Structure 1
Amino acid sequence: MERTTWLDGLRGIAAAIVAFDHYFMSDVWHPFVSFWTEPPEYNRHIVQLPPIRILFSAHGMVTLFMVISGYAISISLLKARDGPQFIQRMSSAIVRRVFRIYLPVIITASIAQIFYFFDLYHWEFDQGLIDDLPKPWSNPWAHFCWLMNYMAESINVVASEYRGGLNGQLWTMPLEFRGSNMVYLLIVGLAGWRRKVRLIVLPILGAFFFWWGNWDVFGFIWGLWLAEKAHGADSSRENFDIDTEMELADFEDTPGPALSLPARLGLCGGKRGYKSLRPSSKLFFLSRVGVVLVFVAGYYLLCLGNDGHLPPGYQFLSYIQSSRWKDRWHIYHFCWKELGSAMLVYAISEFRCLQRPLDTRIVQYLGKISFALYLLHETIYQLFRNPLRDFIYSSLSGSVYEASGQAWSTDPFAFHVAWWVSGIILGSLSVLAAHGYTKYVDDRCVAFSKHIDQWLSI
């Protein structure tokens, strides 16, 4: 199978968008809602319209993570399914997945708790969280117990009562763990079935969870289906060995032309590839147009804003959404974005032309540090964003930065410069921190999980 490095690149872009959005999300809200949001004087900006609005679709990027992870953890296990080491490989994957997700998380959460203990944050946390946390400079044992309870809530996906913490972005970790376990169960449970049956049953099962409102489970099942589809298409190729627990690109190892599709498809393969399909060229063309439409529709769904309701341009979705979702925005906006992610990843998997930008060096680098960037960026913002932004604004305007609306009204130029200059500085700091974290923490967590698995194995 060809190495699908484009999935790494897609994950890197998604993590970068999440980090970019979280810098603004607590204070500057207009990019995150639709163009038609009231009042008009604070909206009607071009950044609120597709396709640009994808840059402010942090929640949409979270749904992309689910599909990518479902694909990543599946592909090597599917390859080993017919071999004598399948059970051993499955056992190893399950054990290592726990450590692979939660070792970096507990390190990140511990660092955040230490910063809070020493009262180093310059951030307005939710009052409910502040009331639940021990006071800064109080009993260290109380802080330790709070941290352990936080981790227990994150790990317990059977009776999850996740209530948030100092690192708000870590709410996705229980979903990652639950979805991973669902994928492992399905791989084992369907191992004895015919491939054609699996390719039919998995979408049906995913549709059930989508209808129910379990958007994250649907994303993981869709990723498994894509992996099953890719594995079947390349089942005659050479075997390979790989670690895929959150290492999302190590699936394929046979290089191929960057801008070509398989000869049976012909697209991007030049005139020779096209001529070989002359008898069925119309059918082929229609199938390719269909994939393009799937890509556009998926991209459009990912651009859905955070209005709390379906805005103009998306209101037609209310006629086809599940009755199970009712009026629960926190469910149905994620469901539609997860469907968009499923469509987008499927379309990219069909077109090499869409994969090539994701294989560039800088995007691949973002993929390499994406997990660390996702874990660290909020802590950096909570420590430094407000003091740095306020200092730049005060230096330029001579006024104190109060509320964002007031600061913008007083001096729009100083407001924009303060936000963008501080954003560039802290964005660069986040990338540097993620690079070091990947090298000295994340990679060592991967190695440690391997050692634990080897020690536990027969």
Structure 2
Amino acid sequence: MNGHTHDSLASEESVGLLVDDPSQSDSILDNPILQTQPFSVATWASKLLSPVFYLRTTHWRVLIVRLAWFFVPSFLQGRSMREQIRPAKLGPTAYLDGMRGIAALFVFHCHYSYSTFAIANGWGFNGGHYEILRLPFIKLFYAGPAAVCVFFVISGYALSYRPIKNIRSGNVKDFSTGLSSMVFRRAIRLFLPTTISTFMVVCLIRMGVFEWTREFAMNPKYLRKVREVHPKMLATAHEQWVQWANAIFGGFKVFSWEHYGGFRIYDAHLWTIPVEFRCSLYLFLVILGTARLRTQYRFLTLAVVTYVTYYNSRWEFLLFISGMALVEWDHIRGAHVPPPVLPSGEREKESKPADSTAKVISWNLVAVLGLYFLGQPDSGGSKTPGWVYLTSLIPEWWAHEGFRYWQGFGAVVFVLGVGHSVWWQRVFNSSIAQYFGKISYALYLMHGPVLKVIGMHWMKWAWGVTGVEGEWYTAGFFLGACFCIPAVIWCADIFWRAVDIPSVKFARWFENKLIKTD
């Protein structure tokens, strides 16, 4: 092979074309547009990875790191976030936040448990049910209805705290401004996070995520008791969104005296939100109507309102009104007034005398008594040891949900006892209780969807490991809980920071944009 032939073949190979005329080949090679470089893995890899390199620039790297860090649970994010969860100096009613957080956790335990076990009956019901987890006090760890009663008392207390304080101090301007602000922001506070959570549910439905666990959710082999409605994907997205919008607007039917409002189609647990809103408006009306009365006449009027509410079996309104009464009593006795700061030489002489041991023990026992009443069985109280006589005392005209009778009474007694007990307040002021207090609303909104989307995968896996025969069914239940509980808490933590906190800020910002300036 001569040199010319060798050069031509080299040209053909380099250009990728077969040409007959060597001079034409040379002209093509001389064209800079058609020249190509030899294939290089490094060159092509750099082109393919160029978006990645772009994301590694300072601006994008910071955003990615921040986003990744946002998904880290708040209690693992360092000292500043931990101080936000539990400040070094807590407010005088911070223990109520902790109590609400623990109650929210117990509601979640209830909804995790009642699909697998008959949890409504108490210990010894009808000559059986002698499991240790049904014993009084222990049963409260998964007593959802009792926890809801505690919610409502705390809500009544929290909403009444500042208005009653302003009434008693004669601060008319702050009272009117504060009450007006609370009425305006209450709907946003309750319904904006709920709207967003159910919006997320609809998005997941349209993506088919709920279909992944539908078969398991309807399978009596695994879920042997209460099987909640699993949200369905409708034929078209338009139908789905219309149904969702109707559910949202159904939550505002607060004057119909319905026991349950909207939202239940997409989260069965959200029936309490319209009830909370209705009770809040009822409470604001009572506060406004009694604001100018002297203390004794305000209590007398409140007693009449309480009796009328009680006679109509409106347990939810009773709990809110009871919260208002507890606030007034605490203001009268100066429960939330910090002691004056005295010179060091006068501190011992002027210090407030400590409560007697008998008084301390008495109030602790009052709180324990409240816990016992909170343990009223949801079903079968007339056949349950320790509840036969108490159940017989429930009036016949108490038409709806008889189990709320003593549970509601217990919630009021428990909050009353804790308000007088330093020991109980320390329990609810602990870091763990305060953390659950911060995420309590997010935990309530998130636990249902997360259980259906993520939790049921873990439950199915757990029973796949243990089996479902005999005691292995219980073992699988607890094994699944080891994964479901952290998943729900993690998602609630994210929702708290991403939705709940911004919702509160938005409500205040929106009000400030609309209010009339002096």
Partner Cα separation in structure 2 for residue 146 and residue 370 of structure 1: 28
Q: 1:234 to 1:39 in 2, by over 3 A?
A: closer
1:440 is matched with which residue?
Answer: 498
1:404 is matched with which residue?
Answer: none
Q: 1:232 to 1:33 in 2, by over 3 A?
A: same
Partner Cα separation in structure 2 for residue 203 and residue 253 of structure 1: 34
RMSD of Structure 2 on Structure 1 (CA): 2.8
Q: 1:265 to 1:37 in 2, by over 3 A?
A: farther
2:109 is matched with which residue?
Answer: 20
CA shift, 1:325, in A, is: 1.4
2:469 is matched with which residue?
Answer: 408
Does 2:124 align with 1:36?
Answer: yes
Does 2:133 align with 1:55?
Answer: no
Partner Cα separation in structure 2 for residue 127 and residue 356 of structure 1: 38
CA shift, 1:396, in A, is: 4.3
Q: 1:22 to 1:289 in 2, by over 3 A?
A: same
Partner Cα separation in structure 2 for residue 434 and residue 253 of structure 1: 40
Partner Cα separation in structure 1 for residue 492 and residue 458 of structure 2: 20
Q: Which has the larger radius of gyration?
A: 2
Does 2:334 align with 1:234?
Answer: yes
Any unmatched runs of 5+ in structure 1? 239-251, 255-261, 268-273, 275-283, 398-406
Partner Cα separation in structure 2 for residue 358 and residue 176 of structure 1: 23
Q: 1:194 to 1:264 in 2, by over 3 A?
A: farther
- Letter paired with 2:296: K
Cα deviation digits, residues 204-240 of structure 1 (max 9, x gap)? 42243233211110000011111112223339958xx
Partner Cα separation in structure 1 for residue 132 and residue 308 of structure 2: 37
CA shift, 1:180, in A, is: 0.8
CA shift, 1:290, in A, is: 5.3
After TM superposition, the score normalised by the length of structure 2 is 0.71
Q: 1:185 to 1:13 in 2, by over 3 A?
A: same
1:385 is matched with which residue?
Answer: 455
2:367 is matched with which residue?
Answer: 295
1:420 is matched with which residue?
Answer: 478
1:279 is matched with which residue?
Answer: none
CA shift, 1:61, in A, is: 0.0
2:441 is matched with which residue?
Answer: 371
Q: How does 1:29-428 map to 2 (within 5 A)?
A: 29=118, 31-38=119-126, 40=128, 43-81=129-167, 82-83=170-171, 84-121=173-210, 122-123=213-214, 124=217, 136=233, 138-159=235-256, 160=258, 162=261, 164-234=264-334, 266-267=354-355, 274=356, 285=358, 291-310=363-382, 311-326=384-399, 328=400, 331-397=401-467, 407-409=468-470, 412-413=471-472, 415-428=473-486
Q: Secondary structure at the match of 1:408?
A: coil
Which structure is higher in RCO with an 8 Å CA cutoff and minimum separation 6? Answer: 1
Count of matched residue positions in the alignment of Structure 1 and Structure 2:
401
Partner Cα separation in structure 1 for residue 266 and residue 318 of structure 2: 28
8 Å Cα contact 1:70-1:222 kept in structure 2: yes
- Letter paired with 2:367: F
CA shift, 1:349, in A, is: 0.6
Moved more, 415-424 or 350-359: 415-424
Partner Cα separation in structure 2 for residue 301 and residue 265 of structure 1: 32
CA shift, 1:95, in A, is: 0.7
1:241 is matched with which residue?
Answer: none
Any unmatched runs of 5+ in structure 2? 1-89, 219-225, 342-349
- Letter paired with 2:429: D
> What is the percent sequence identity of the aligned residues?
24
Partner Cα separation in structure 2 for residue 236 and residue 4 of structure 1: 8
Cα deviation digits, residues 84-123 of structure 1 (max 9, x gap)? 2322221111010110000001111111122223332224
CA shift, 1:312, in A, is: 3.0
Partner Cα separation in structure 1 for residue 387 and residue 126 of structure 2: 16
CA shift, 1:3, in A, is: 1.5
Runs (4+) of structure 1 exceeding 4 A deviation are: 125-130, 235-238, 262-265, 287-290
2:508 is matched with which residue?
Answer: 450
Q: 1:202 to 1:2 in 2, by over 3 A?
A: farther
CA shift, 1:54, in A, is: 1.1
Q: 1:186 to 1:426 in 2, by over 3 A?
A: same
8 Å Cα contact 2:122-2:381 kept in structure 1: no
Q: 1:156 to 1:408 in 2, by over 3 A?
A: same
8 Å Cα contact 1:2-1:253 kept in structure 2: no
8 Å Cα contact 2:458-2:483 kept in structure 1: no
Partner Cα separation in structure 1 for residue 227 and residue 403 of structure 2: 26
Q: Secondary structure at the match of 2:511?
A: helix
1:401 is matched with which residue?
Answer: none
8 Å Cα contact 1:118-1:137 kept in structure 2: no
CA shift, 1:420, in A, is: 1.6
8 Å Cα contact 1:211-1:322 kept in structure 2: no
8 Å Cα contact 1:213-1:332 kept in structure 2: no
Cα deviation digits, residues 327-380 of structure 1 (max 9, x gap)? x4xx22112211110010001111112211111111111101111001101111
